Amino acid sequence: MTHHDRLLIIDFGSQVTQLIARRLRELSVYCEIHPFQKVTESFLTEFAPKAVILSGGPSSVFADGAPMPPASVFDLGVPILGICYGQQVMMHCLGGKVERGHGTAEFGRAFVTPKDADLVLLEGWFEDDREQVWMSHGDHVSEIAPGFDVYGTSPNAPFAITADTERNFFAVQFHPEVHHTPNGKKLYQNFVRLAGFKGDWTMGAYRDDAIAKIRNQVGDRKVICGLSGGVDSSVAAVLIHEAIGDQLTCVFVDHGLLRLNEADEVVSMFRDNYNIPLIHADEADLFLNALEGVSDPEQKRKTIGKLFIDVFQKYANDIDGAEFLAQGTLYPDVIESVSFSGGPSVTIKSHHNVGGLPEKMGLKLVEPLRELFKDEVRALGRELGLPDSFIGRHPFPGPGLAIRCPGEITRNKLEILRRADAVYIDQIRKHGLYDEIWQAFVAILPVRTVGVMGDGRTYDYACALRAVTSVDGMTADYYPFTHEFLGETATRIINEVQGINRVTYDITSKPPGTIEWE
């Protein structure tokens, strides 16, 4: 997207650097995060940022080999904002002084009061006489660099907000990007406005750019896309189809571990509604036969993963002359994170790749969502006309119902599970709770228990309901359903699903639990 104005975030390893990017994207500003090790003088020249942000980080400027940006960053003539460690780096590089912690470390909530609120960065910020901010630093600045003045202080941070207005350099001790600095976004808004960003990073613009880029990359050649029915691969497929039409073929591997009616819904949506050439690889028997007698969770995943690649490859080979494989890789999967034990490391979540297939088949990758966060993918999906009900779907794992059926999988158990899950989700939708929940599903337990129905005893499966709230799936909390909801749902499942006579609710958070049962 070279014709967008770009902001460069130099990452010094803070846990919250990604949040800086989120805040900027919310302001329709295009930015990229790059680890400090990668940002050399030539990188800076090539990237040509319109503004730079120096992130926080866990290091001390006194440490051997302390993370530093190239000195030339201060000669670019563009506005720079240093945050926490980024502030210390600025002072250290520009002639100020930083001192070690020794009793002045500050963590948590603090209040900043203005010393001189007449600074562009602070416009509209101090609504009351003070603003809540979030501090998290060990070392601190003890003398500001020549050219800098103080604009805000907190009880423990005499240099909470500093700036050199000649050069448009700003340095703050706190983290404006985090939730606990409630009005922090205002600072970013002022910063990018002062830097001259037009705020043209909209989904409409992204869509047009992405289409042009795909056409340019692919030309008149063919692309294969593995469709899972999830949001990411679906949005990628619709976008690519809009760019290159029938040069795209989607392969939907149906492993027999999908939810009730799911395969039909995916096929009808893509083939019938969008007219996207779609191969429905109905390989349920192959997968379920291979899983017979397998109860070890890792073995299940491996069996499914390996077969998935074989099947995908088999169908893809039938698409004559395909040269590209499309993937719904997202920005959080490709951000290079700062690693202090070695060079920058690239984190790519393996389940986003069709396990080494590109190399195996000699395919090049098309990844049109690489620059987007999850909620931006949803916005793009809406822009492309995908129905809201589809875009808001809860995540569903690659191994499907296999990991919601602890122990050995049988066709009978899968059938019971599908029907119980459908009742549960129906209940959640009826009560208007679907969008409040990150993920909800039923797990069928590998135990049968005694019950009594009518005049007879039953000996059927027990199941567990799971529903969690989460932001990214990394941590999660159970959803606090009312007793009425739980009671009504249990009754419906037992009455409507033959094979289940006991319903439990899983109230484990993650950690220590996981969201899935296997």
Interface with ligand XMP by CB under 6 A: which residues? 301, 351, 395, 397-399, 439, 473, 510, 514-516
Cβ neighbours for 145, distance < 8 A, ≥ 6 positions apart: 90, 91, 94, 95, 96, 164
Cα 320 from Cα 313, distance rounded (Å): 12
* Ramachandran sector of residue 249 (left: φ over 0; alpha: ψ -120 to 50; beta: rest): beta
From the list 31, 84, 250, 405, the catalytic residue is 84
Instruction: Find all residues with CB under 8 Å of 265, minimum gap 6, and list them.
Output: 229
Q: Which is nearer to ligand XMP, 246 or 472 (CB)?
A: 472
Q: Looking up tokens 């975030």, which residue turns up?
A: 9
Residue 292 a catalytic site member = no
Residues 288 and 258 sit within 8 Å (Cβ to Cβ): no
Report the residue number, 232 or 460, with the smaller CB distance to ligand XMP: 232
Q: Which helix (H) or strand (E) holds 426?
A: helix 411-430
Look up residue 218 and give its two tokens: 């692919």
84 counts as catalytic: yes
Closest separation between CB of residue 350 and ligand XMP, Å?
9
**Which helix (H) or strand (E) element contains residue 254?**
strand 248-254
Shortest Å, Cβ 146 to ligand XMP:
50
Q: Which is nearer to ligand XMP, 301 or 378 (CB)?
A: 301
Pairing, β 6-11 against β 30-35: parallel
Least Å distance between CB 399 and ligand XMP? 5
Cβ closer to ligand XMP: 301 or 418? 301
Please name which of 403, 426, 424 lies closest in space to residue 500, comparing C-alpha atoms.
Answer: 424
Instruction: Return the ∠ at Cα 376 (arms to 403 and 259), rounded to 5°.
Output: 25
CB closer to ligand XMP out of 272 and 472: 472
CB of 508 to ligand XMP, least distance (A): 10
Least distance (Å) from ligand XMP to the CB of residue 476? 7
Q: Please, which residue, 58 or 513, has the CB nearer to ligand XMP?
A: 513
DSSP 68-86: ---GGGGGS-S-EEEETHH
Rounded Cα distance, 265 and 258, in Å: 11
Q: At what angle do helices 483-496 and 411-430 cross, to 10 degrees?
A: 140
Q: Of residues 106, 177, 371, 376, which has the active-site annotation?
A: 177
Q: How far is the CB of 317 from ligand XMP (least distance, A)?
A: 24
Annotated catalytic residue 250: no
Catalytic residues: 84, 175, 177
